[in-house]
Amino acid sequence: MRRILIADDDAHIRDVVSFALRRAGFDTVDAPDGRVALDRFRDASPDLVVLDVLMPEVDGVDVCRAIRRTSNVPILFLSSKDEESDRVAGLDAGGDDYVTKPFSPRELVARVRATFRGIDARAEDPAAELVVGPLVVDAPGRRAHLHGEPLTLTGTEFGLLATLARHAGTVIDRATLMRGAYLTRRVVSERTIDSHVRRLREKLRERGSDPIRTVHGVGYCLSFE
């Protein structure tokens, strides 16, 4: 049974989300603020995190950044902040999805299920290992190395990198990237895809290379040439 951490300072929302997820067959653990959320994350080792943005002690964006230092567990933001800039900030911090309040518990459960389906599908990908120059992408193991150094990627970042690696040397448009890489298969803006790619490129640069080339007006291409 997959375990989901629900972090929100509103006890009613925690109860609603927990009830919906438990009915769907998931195990849940909750936290009333950011500091407790980080403690519960370390203790419970959840498979996915549902994270409010506006929380006492430590806000959700900082909680997300802290989790991303050690884990690529999927993170779904659940927030009353619904401006595009807020969604992009959450994704830039390492989130994989962003749901605004008020929300439908059924939709939330559907997004959680879609996230896990995406993870499972990639784990069963027949391309066990993709090698592009000094980049090695292990699809079933969901691991990637560049110049022999491991990359710590979110689920969406890994999906983007794997999709680009499968089509190395070819320009991939944003729609194709979204279909091949985005965990929930939902429609997202070009700015959202660009935000994920920008964060991925920063992590690649930290390992000594940036093989992703932007083709303005079209999309992206991965090549070491």
> Do 159 and 207 form a contact (C-beta atoms < 8 A)?
no
Q: Check whether residue 117 and residue 175 sit in a common domain.
A: no
Distance of CA 119 to the CA centre of its chain: 10
Torsion, Cα 71 73 203 173, to 10 degrees, reads: 170
Tokens of 110: 């559907």
State residue 185's pLDDT score.
Answer: 46
Beta strand pairing status for 129-132 and 135-138? antiparallel
**What are 167-177's pLDDT values in tens digits?**
888 888 887 78
Neighbours of 186 (CB within 10 A): 12
State residue 170's pLDDT score.
Answer: 87
State residue 187's pLDDT score.
Answer: 47
Q: Check whether residue 44 and residue 138 sit in a common domain.
A: no
Residues of the chain below pLDDT 50: 183-185, 187
Q: Check whether residue 140 and residue 93 sit in a common domain.
A: no
State residue 7's pLDDT score.
Answer: 97
**What are 26-51's pLDDT values in tens digits?**
999 999 999 999 999 999 999 999 99
Overall number of domains in the chain: 2
Q: Check whether residue 168 and residue 59 sit in a common domain.
A: no
Domain end point (choices 99, 121, 143): 121
CATH, residue 134: 1.10.10.10
Q: Check whether residue 10 and residue 62 sit in a common domain.
A: yes
Quick check: helix, strand or coil at residue 119? helix
Q: Check whether residue 28 and residue 99 sit in a common domain.
A: yes
State residue 188's pLDDT score.
Answer: 57
State residue 6's pLDDT score.
Answer: 97
Q: Check whether residue 80 and residue 157 sit in a common domain.
A: no
Q: Check whether residue 106 and residue 209 sit in a common domain.
A: no
Structural domain span for residue 144: 126-222
